[in-house]
Structure 1
Amino acid sequence: MTLEILTADALAPVHHGFFTRRGGASSGIFAGLNCGTGSSDQSDIVAINRARVAHAMAVDPGALVSVHQIHSAQVATVTEPGPQGRADAMVCNTPGLGLAILTADCMPVLLADPEAGVIGAAHAGWRGALDGVLEATVDAMVALGAERQSITAVIGPCISQAAYEVGPEFLEEFQAEDPEFMRFFANGQGDRYQFDLPGFGLMRLREAGIAQADWTRHCTYADPRLFYSYRRSVHGSEADYGRLISVIRL
């Protein structure tokens, strides 16, 4: 099956892709393009899937660079292939390297300043976004020569507000950080709330002063044919879940 890749006009002409789960070699609960080395899927199958992604991005499989994601605001500056350690974002100005982020409801965020030749990729769940991983990624791109007002960022498929139910303690943490953040919560059933993760991410990106920030408007929870979803796997009492991959390269 052919890989299905979502792209964003705003990031053109930089080569990038938000990969769906279609076109992979995994089976069972991982059926499709599971690229999560941390999943319980067969490691050789995950390697095949990642090799297909590398081919689609026209990079060597060894040049598909990723980090050990820990829900932090840590950013790695990538200059060569290989493991990049514990972080949740990467920036790069070296041609031929693909920055790869894994998600399954969290936001995959791809960023580029084509004129400066600087790219970035971030994994942003609620914790990372609240702690400033998106702003830290923009700052790291500027440190490599990007112009803040020339950076475009696109949030790929992630969980939407309609599917993201949270409890009062979750809301209280955001309220303690800034009461203005309450606008990203809608009332749910009982004492529950619905959190707008991509809306929050867009606000953080725009307040960082970049040129443009968009969301592809795809919900990972709502479409099991195209996307893996951690929350959907929990609701379905599944033992594990696949990881989507999003890649950008110069």
Structure 2
Amino acid sequence: MTTNADATPIGQRIHGLGRGVSAGFTARADGGVSAPPFARLNLGNGVGDDPAAVARNRELAARGFGISPDSVAWMSQVHGRDVAVVDTPGNAGQVDAMVTTRPGVALAVLVADCLPVLVADAEAGVVGAAHSGRPGTAADIAGALVEEMTRQGAVAERCVALLGPSVCGQCYEVPRDLRDAMERVTPEGACVTRWGSPGVDIRAAVVAQLRRAGVAEIGHDERCTREDDTLFSYRRDATTGRFAGYVWRDAA
């Protein structure tokens, strides 16, 4: 397991997803004001942390990426397949994916083992973000995201995706019936853990789903949340915070 070394400044973790489109992921120790067990940059409400600390952390994270804290759209994530089209910041409701065509609106997805999926068609000016946990992956939330992006003018074959840190298949043990259920809908997601038990590989499943949706260019931050303690992990710590993936188009 990695040690909690000094944090890399958030602004140094920005990835380009095409001209004028940026994306990035936060980490547990990127500054932040939350006390243990949420220390330090917990961005998730509803996990037991002080709401004032979460609000301050969200401000710090946004500014670290060089975007306004008032420009971010969030989701009340429910492990489903619904996608919201958003024109303004704020809460997009009980959905697990968002799409926007508005420059200057940043989309954020909260995770602590689930896979953050960030997608952009820079030419069309369409960006999207999805929260793909095991139930959402089984429901193909990534495919639903690409479908909505194409309805908003994107071309799937032109899209660029970035998949963030998540629990890896070797660490994600599940009961055999859940592994078998994943295998029925996305065979690439069924796996065996490093200790020989049934597992689910969310990343492999989402890659397959994105490719079937037409997305060819897929980048990765392949850190395993359970193994890397610079990231929050529910499966490792149970009571813990959430880090986030962000994607945005530069304001016009």
Q: Same fold (TM over 0.5)?
A: yes
Residue number among 211, 214, 236 corresponding to 1:206 in the alignment: 211
- Call closer, same or farther: CA 1:11–1:184 in 2, change over 3 Å: farther
Match of 2:244 in 1: 245
Distance 1:8 1:81, change over 3 A: closer
**Which string of whole-angstrom CA distances, capped at 9 and with x for unpartnered residues, describes residues 14-54 of structure 1?**
12111111221112111111000111111111100000122
| 2:221 alignment counterpart | 216
1:61 aligns to 2:69 (yes or no): yes
Q: Equivalent residue of 2:91, what SS?
A: coil
Structure 2 residue aligned with 1:237:
none
Letter of the structure 1 residue corresponding to residue 74 of structure 2: S
Q: Out of 17, 28, 31, which is 2:24 matched to?
A: 17
Give the conservation status (yes or no) of the 8 Å contact 2:142–2:209: yes
Q: Aligned residue for 1:117?
A: 125
| CA deviation after TM superposition for structure 1 residue 57, in Å | 3.1
Counting only pairs closer than 5 Å after superposition, residues 123-138 of structure 1 correspond to structure 2 as 123-138=131-146
Picking from 51, 76, 79, the partner of 1:71 is 79
Query: Which TM-score applies when normalising by structure 1?
Result: 0.89
Structure 1 unmatched ranges of 5 or more: 235-239
Q: Report what 1:186 is aligned to.
A: 192
How many angstroms apart in 1 are the aligned matches of 2:19 and 2:171? 30
Q: Report the CA distance between 1:9 and its aligned residue.
A: 4.9
Letter in 2 for 1:101: V
Partner in structure 1 of residue 91 of structure 2 = 83
| Partner in structure 1 of residue 43 of structure 2 | 35
Query: What is the letter of the counterpart of residue 135 of structure 1?
Result: G
Q: Does 1:232 align with 2:239?
A: no
Offset of 1:186 from its aligned partner?
Answer: 2.1
Q: 2:128 touches 2:145 (CA, 8 Å); kept in 1? A: yes
Equivalent pairs, count: 241
The one-letter amino acid of 1:242's match is G
Write the distance in 2 (CA, Å) between the matches of 1:137 and 1:183: 18
Deviation above 6 Å: which 4+ runs of structure 1? none
Contact 1:11 1:153 in 2 (8 A): no
Give 1 or 2: higher helix fraction: 1
Q: Aligned partners of 1:203 and 1:183: how far apart in 2?
A: 9
Uncovered stretches (5+) of structure 2, i.e. residues with no partner:
1-6
Percent of paired sites with the same residue: 34
Give the SS at the match of 2:211: helix
Normalised TM-score (structure 2): 0.89
Residues 65/193 of structure 1: CA separation in 2 closer, same or farther (3 Å cut): same
Q: 2:169 aligns with which of 161, 164, 169?
A: 161
Q: Cα distance 1:189–1:56, how it changes in 2: closer, same or farther (>3 A)?
A: closer
SS at match of 1:247: strand
Alpha-carbon deviation of 1:11?
5.1
Report if the CA contact (8 A) 2:189-2:202 is conserved: no
